Amino acid sequence: MSDITIFQARKILTMIPNRPVATHVAVRDGRILGAGALEDLAGWGAYTLDDRFADKVLMPGFVEGHAHTMEGASWRRVYCGWFDRMDPDGTVWPGLKSVEAVLDRLRAAEAALPDADTPLAGWQFDPLYMPGAVFTRHELDSVSRTRPIAVMHASGHIIVANSAALDQAGLLREGIEHQSFPLGDDGLPTGILLGPEARIAIAPHVGYGDMLADNAESDLRAFARLCVRTGTTTITDLAAQLPEAGVASMARVTQMDDWPVRLVPFRTFLGLKPEALIAEVQRLKEQSNDKLRLGGIKIHVDGSIQGFTARLRWPGYFNGAPNGLWYIAPEHLAEILERALAARVPVHLHTNGDQATQLVLETLETALQKHPGPDHRFTLQHCQLADAAQLRQAARLGMCVNLFANHIYYWGEQHYAQTVGPERARRMNACRTALDSGVPLAIHCDAPVTPLGPLFTAWCAVNRLSSEGRVLGPEECITVDEALRAITLGAAHTLHLDGELGSIETGKRADFAVLEDDPTAVAPETLKDVGVWGTILGGVAFQAGRV
Amino acid sequence: MTDGPLPITLLGGYLGAGKTTLVNHLLRHADGQRLAVVVNDFGDLPIDADLIEAAGDDLLTLAGGCVCCTVGDDLGDTLRALAARAPRPDQVLIETSGVALPGALAGTLSLMRDVALAAVVVLVDAETATARADDPYLGDTICRQIRQADLIVLTKPDLAGPAGMDRTRTLIAALHPAAMVIEAAEGRVPPALILGPRPRSGEDAPAPATPGHDSLLFRPARPLDARTLARGLADPALGVLRAKGVFLDEAGAPRLVQAVGARVRLSAPPQGARAGIVVIGRQGGLDPAGLAALFGVHGR
């Protein structure tokens, strides 16, 4: 029995220029010996030929540079979204196009609950697509008047609770005067709770508690099943609280032989002073293993565009909403960046609005003068409204960008009509300009905000279609090859893993996406429809639906 | 709950405005009150070392039965944990992050059970406020903080100088004309202005007047109309900086009233609290006759 396996495929896209296409790839000890024709590889010695994928197409495993393991836990709730979405077990939950359809699905889930008290929670409800829809506690009361029920909007900013949940939270009373709690004609809350503060009030009563910190094995496994289904072999958890128990759970689960994905959690900057934060991520880094890479920091600089909490430069929001919120003070940001540069700790920065991006660029430029930090690769995450000058500056400073391509499809129409207006909507998530500026580019889904699916994300960057079919800024479209690079080597580069992952070449990890078709041969409009058989991680095959 | 809702005071203001200095000053002059301080996560250890008696994983035990903790992932959890302590803190001070909008946090608190917002105090660094208000990144945040204050504490008057103080007062007057503004050098503010006056049980005299301020106790004999009382306490003509106490409303139910400048809040009182309202104003600034008329009694 040889310890060399040679995988045979219909086609192998290596993502390296000197041999872009191959038919075979040789693997030993979980790493790639080489790719080419069989006779090129036979010289490594005795091998086992694995021809299970002889009719498939292999690519480097996809790297998702901005997602959250919470996607796994989300599926404990009832999916109420407008768009079809596949759960970890491969069931595609049809998008719900009316309030009554949402209520029917909740009723079915309610009827299946074993007792009378367990709260029922739904997620991804999106009334933006249902003009005139009324969805308040009264509608939810038709599911149950006694069991606490709450449904989260797709934006993540609004939650609707039924009367039982409000009552448990002490909120079903007169005299509530709060902008987050619209009142009905009866003087009582409608059950529509706006914003994070309202969520804090209701969350403990409806099972929307500490999903970020959980990392229970069952949730991690649900997350991993989605990774396999989408060809994803490396994925971030950006950001995570990373409490001791959560890290221990991740460390244990990721070391199991049947664990199919490399996980890269970044610790949130919240909760620790900068000096302690650096020490903590350096301590966490020691707990890394092959399939768990710790040691990075995530900073939230501002909020979200569709929630009107992103920080925008002049002229601000298209609909006149006041500017958004800072989630970190500039001095605080500066101190973390300086310390991280000095300690060579990677930092990824959530900046949705262009003012938040500008603050990071200016702060980093100053910090770099004190601590040069060569090859730091600090990454602007989302960076949705950056203009050409900002992208050029990011490139000069040695930064990377990870643009939120999926936003173009899911919220493009809202950006066009409400948040930033037509002109800026056309240049949002400016992938073309980023590449032309020389800034290393990744693109992402931010699951569970939008569904995990690197090929879908690539499709968004290639086609820039909104959900209504509008092409938002065709000048910012990139080619299929460029998009495929962004979801492999590009994302790996932002994680300092491009020497280890992201292409099929000698020495790298044997991490592959196993595809039913050649994404470079299909029509670019159908890139998202290329089937995924599963993945190979470190030379071990994982079939979708069988993990 | 026999203690009534847990009273909460928000301390807002940008980095360097003096929140930490003020917190330490209040802890040193807690005068038997058990204060629980909730601090945000950035900056040096916020509590002077000599005040710390013991450091646990999540909580610092401080002199005089006070405690200090950092806000966790969820403010609600943090406050529930504090409310569950025995003995319960008399008052919680939440030091917000430098870029937080205290109005948003006040909104959050208004939704929680068993807590009652007592005051939104915003510290403004008189030396830097006007420059910060023009800062392209921070200007609107600083201005919104000022607009959301019940009580503004102007800090670093010595560093700002008279001209700087004038500029800052002009800025505040333009943003929030109704704001109550007091000055403090090195955090030296009468604690009763920040934490509210405390009627002392078994005494008919209010706590000793704080330097530069007058303090009056009223014991209304008859039920009072809550709205009339609230409007009256907010009337600048009466000179009330802060007021706190228990009265009987028209239905005969005991109510706790707290006034901070123009903001008046009503909540449930601790069980068994005796009717009586303490009013604090600047020295010579209170209108005793007007107040007596408002309470339907004679002031003392």
Quick check: is B1 in a domain?
no
Q: Does residue B67 carry a pLDDT above 90?
A: no
Phi, psi of B38 (to 5 degrees): -110, 120
CB A467 within 8 A of CB A410: yes
Q: Which two tokens stand for residue B134?
A: 């023009």
CB A5 within 8 A of CB A50: yes
B23 plus B168 within the same structural domain? yes
Quick one: pLDDT at residue B141?
95
Q: Nearest Cβ partner of B112 from A180, A201, A272?
A: A201
Give the percent of chain B with pLDDT over 90.
42
- pLDDT tens digits for A325-363? 898 999 999 999 999 999 999 999 999 999 999 999 999
Provide the sign of the torsion angle of the four alpha carbons B18, B20, B22, B25, taken in this order. Answer: negative
Quick check: is B29 in a domain?
yes
Chain A positions in Cβ-Cβ contact with residue B74 (cut-off 8 Å): 200, 203, 210
B186 plus B206 within the same structural domain? no
Q: Which residue has the higher pLDDT, B63 or A131?
A: B63
Quick check: is B130 in a domain?
yes
CA-angle at A274, arms to B57 and A445, nearest 5°: 100
B47 plus B104 within the same structural domain? yes
Lowest-confidence pick of A318-322, A500-504, B262-266: B262-266
**Rounded CA separation A434/A430 (Å):** 6
Instruction: Give the pLDDT mean for A14-29.
Output: 96
Quick one: pLDDT at residue A212?
47
Quick one: pLDDT at residue B162?
94
Among residues A542, A511, A501, A547, the alpha carbon closest in space to that of A58 is found at: A511
Q: Does residue A544 carry a pLDDT above 80?
A: yes
- pLDDT tens digits for A507-532? 999 999 999 999 999 999 999 999 99
A521 touches chain B (CB under 8 A): no
B71 plus B151 within the same structural domain? yes
Chain A positions in Cβ-Cβ contact with residue B98 (cut-off 8 Å): 329, 331-332
* Cβ–Cβ below 8 Å for A201 and B107: no
At residue B68, the 3 state secondary structure works out as strand
Lowest-confidence pick of A82-91, A106-115, A156-165, A371-380: A156-165
Quick check: is B237 in a domain?
yes
Quick check: is B243 in a domain?
yes
- pLDDT tens digits for A252-281? 999 999 999 999 999 999 888 899 999 999
Structurally, chain B folds into a number of domains equal to: 2
Chain A positions in Cβ-Cβ contact with residue B97 (cut-off 8 Å): 329
Q: List the single residue in B with minimal CA-CA distance to A331.
A: B15
Kindly indicate the confidence band of residue B27, based on its pLDDT and cuts at 50, 70 and 90. Answer: very high
Of B193, B220, B243, the last residue of a domain is B193
Chain B positions in Cβ-Cβ contact with residue A198 (cut-off 8 Å): 111
**Rounded CA separation A325/B203 (Å):** 47
Interface probe for A, chosen from B1, B73, B78, B263 (most Cβ of A below 10 Å), is: B73
Quick one: pLDDT at residue B209?
58
Give the A window 29-68 contacts with B, CB below 8 Å: none
B204: domain CATH number? 3.30.1220.10
Chain B positions in Cβ-Cβ contact with residue A299 (cut-off 8 Å): none
At residue B295, the 3 state secondary structure works out as helix
Among residues B261, B284, B235, B279, the alpha carbon closest in space to that of B180 is found at: B261
Q: Which residue has the higher pLDDT, A271 or A540?
A: A540
Three-state SS annotation for A314-339: CCCCCCCCCCCCECCCHHHHHHHHHH
Quick check: is B60 in a domain?
yes
B123 plus B27 within the same structural domain? yes
Instruction: Give the pLDDT mean for A34-59.
Output: 97
- Please give the single-letter amino acid code of residue B286: L
Q: Does residue B56 carry a pLDDT above 70?
A: yes
Quick check: is B300 in a domain?
no
Quick one: pLDDT at residue A540?
98
Instruction: Give the pLDDT mean for B104-127.
Output: 86
For the purposes of burial, counting CB atoms within 10 Å of the CB of A465, is it exposed (0-12), middle (13-18) or buried (19 or more)? middle
What is each CA distance from A343 to A87, A242, A336, B121, in whole angstroms?
Answer: 40, 20, 10, 38
Quick one: pLDDT at residue A251?
95
What H or E segment, with its residue span, contains residue A180? Answer: none
The ipTM assigned to this model is 0.81
B170 plus B234 within the same structural domain? no
Of B127, B159, B193, the last residue of a domain is B193
Instruction: Give the pLDDT mean for A423-450.
Output: 97
Q: Does residue A223 carry a pLDDT above 60?
A: yes
Kindly indicate the confidence band of residue A203, based on its pLDDT and cuts at 50, 70 and 90. Answer: confident
What H or E segment, with its residue span, contains residue A143? Answer: none
Chain A positions in Cβ-Cβ contact with residue B101 (cut-off 8 Å): 325
Chain A positions in Cβ-Cβ contact with residue B15 (cut-off 8 Å): 329, 331-332
Q: Does residue A127 carry a pLDDT above 60?
A: yes
Average pLDDT value for chain A: 94
Quick check: is B40 in a domain?
yes
What is each CA distance from A271 to A93, A247, B39, B184, in whole angstroms?
Answer: 37, 16, 10, 30
Q: Does residue B298 carry a pLDDT above 90?
A: no
B37 plus B125 within the same structural domain? yes
B56: domain CATH number? 3.40.50.300
Phi, psi of A482 (to 5 degrees): -65, -40
B67 plus B178 within the same structural domain? yes
Interface probe for B, chosen from A326, A328, A361, A363 (most Cβ of B below 10 Å), is: A326
- pLDDT tens digits for B144-203? 999 999 999 999 999 999 999 999 999 999 999 988 899 988 778 888 899 888 755 555
Instruction: Give the pLDDT mean for B3-20.
Output: 90
- Please give the single-letter amino acid code of residue B132: R
B11 plus B104 within the same structural domain? yes
B75 plus B133 within the same structural domain? yes
Lowest-confidence pick of A169-178, A391-400, A477-486, B160-169: A169-178
Instruction: Give the pLDDT mean for B65-89.
Output: 84
* Cβ–Cβ below 8 Å for B70 and A271: yes
Of B145, B166, B193, the last residue of a domain is B193
Lowest-confidence pick of A24-28, A70-74, A288-292: A70-74
B156 plus B269 within the same structural domain? no
A208 touches chain B (CB under 8 A): no
Quick one: pLDDT at residue A198?
72
Residue span of the structural domain in which B205 resides = 197-295
Q: Nearest Cβ partner of B41 from A272, A355, A359?
A: A272
Interface probe for A, chosen from B79, B108, B128 (most Cβ of A below 10 Å), is: B108
For each of the domains in chain A, give its residue range(s) and CATH number, in order of start.
Answer: 4-55 (2.30.40.10), 71-205 (3.10.310.70), 221-497 (3.20.20.140)
Phi-psi region of B231 (alpha: psi -120 to 50; beta: other; left: phi over 0): alpha
A173 touches chain B (CB under 8 A): no
**Rounded CA separation A182/B96 (Å):** 26
Q: Does residue B108 carry a pLDDT above 90?
A: no
**Rounded CA separation A59/A22 (Å):** 10
* Cβ–Cβ below 8 Å for A180 and B111: yes
Quick one: pLDDT at residue A1?
46
Quick one: pLDDT at residue A196?
65
Q: Does residue B73 carry a pLDDT above 90?
A: no
Quick one: pLDDT at residue B112?
76
B28 plus B177 within the same structural domain? yes
- Chain B residues with CB-CB distance to A under 8 A? 14-15, 41-44, 70, 72-76, 97-99, 101, 104-105, 107-108, 110-113, 136-138, 140-141
Among residues B49, B38, B142, B129, the alpha carbon closest in space to that of B92 is found at: B38
Quick one: pLDDT at residue B1?
41
Chain B positions in Cβ-Cβ contact with residue A270 (cut-off 8 Å): 41, 73
A and B: number of Cβ contacts within 8 A: 78
